[in-house]
Amino acid sequence: MKQAVELLHDATDILNQAGIDSAHVDASLLLASVMKVERSQLSPFAQIPFVEAATFRELVHQRAKRIPLQHITGEAHFRHITLKVGAGVFVPRPETELLVEAGIESLCELDSPRVAVDLCAGSGAIALSLACEVANTTVYAVEQSPDAFTWLKTNVEEHEARLETVSSKVVCVQGDATDLALLAELAGSVDVVLSNPPYIPDAMIPRDPEARDHDPAMALFGGADGLDVARGVARVAQMLLKPGGLFGMEHADVQGESVPELLDEIGGWSQVKDHRDYNKLPRFTTAMRSVTE
């Protein structure tokens, strides 16, 4: 038997040497996962049995190879939900929570029932957050990748009871988020459209090994300037939204001017505004569907 504090000390050293900024937090989350408790319930003085300690050390070595923490534990926490994630699906980032918050604020100002669309839904982080946090909301979650779509369906099924409690639902739609025909029956009837599309320029290699080596390329790269998918998504959003409806789209921190310019070029948008993330970097743009054109 070893005390948790000893194991965590050694693991933190290993992860620090691997260049992981959140070494202690990651070590704590891995040990909590092995012990099947919440991190807050993990006492530093807990006695860890030999089998669990050995399992923990193996997981630490996997993390030291820069395998994403969420792939090792099989879970990603996003706002107030926990998602199943793994190979083939983009791991949701905390920065996207601010985009979701903008969507939730807009939906809460409206009478129910409400309708929203999540374009490039991935694991379902955006769609499920909207539906779970805003009662009487139907969210159409669009994802093209077969692998990611499997994770999306799994996560929606995992949250069915919670969705029923608030009289909301998420409808999974497999298809191209830039296809104007895909949700044509919803044209002009949607209150909010949010999207976290692939936006990295094709020639740019992600800095973090976790993203570069493990996130699917389809969820990362958006053409020569990174905005190919964003252009298509913006046009679909414009078709879907009611006049006055909110559109919000995430982008790279170097696209804080180019994405608003893109919306201005397309036309049909008002109140175009860019927003910063937790690190005060440009991160997402919002706009209202023009009432008159």
Q: Is 216 a catalytic residue?
A: no
Distance between CA atoms of 27 and 25, rounded to whole angstroms?
5
- CA of 245: how far to CAs of 75, 176, 241, in Å? 33, 22, 5
pLDDT number for residue 45: 82
4-40 confidence digits (pLDDT tens): 999 999 999 999 999 999 999 999 999 999 999 988 8
36-48 confidence digits (pLDDT tens): 998 889 888 889 9
Mean of per-residue pLDDT scores for the chain: 94
Distance between CA atoms of 202 and 292, rounded to whole angstroms?
36
In this structure, which amino acid lies at residue 168?
S
Q: Is 94 a catalytic residue?
A: no
Distance between CA atoms of 283 and 223, rounded to whole angstroms?
18
Q: Which of 193, 172, 173, 171 is nearest to 181 (CA)?
A: 173
201-244 confidence digits (pLDDT tens): 777 777 788 788 777 877 777 777 889 999 999 999 999 999 99
Among 56, 78, 92, 196, which one carries the catalytic annotation? 196
Q: Rounded to two decimals, what is the model's pTM? A: 0.91
Among 56, 68, 78, 90, which one carries the catalytic annotation? 90
What would the 3-class secondary structure string for 178-241 be?
CCCCCCHHHCCCEEEEEECCCCECCCCCCCCHHHHHHCCHHHCECCCCCCHHHHHHHHHHHHHE
Per cent of the chain over pLDDT 70 is 99
Mean pLDDT for 195-205 is 84
What superfamily does domain 78-289 belong to in CATH? Vaccinia Virus protein VP39 (3.40.50.150)
Asked if residue 234 lies in contact with residue 222, where contact means CB atoms within 8 angstroms, the answer is no
Domain layout of the chain by residue ranges: 2-65, 78-289
Among 68, 92, 197, 282, which one carries the catalytic annotation? 197
Helix (H) or strand (E) holding 133: helix 125-133
pLDDT at 284 over 70: yes
Asked if residue 43 lies in contact with residue 68, where contact means CB atoms within 8 angstroms, the answer is no
Mean pLDDT for 119-133 is 98
Distance between CA atoms of 77 and 102, rounded to whole angstroms?
19
Provide the 3-class DSSP secondary structure of residue 275: strand
pLDDT number for residue 291: 82
CA 254 to chain centre: 19
Q: Is 284 a catalytic residue?
A: no
Beta strands in 100-188 (DSSP E): 114-119, 137-143, 169-174
List the structure tokens of 244. 């006055």
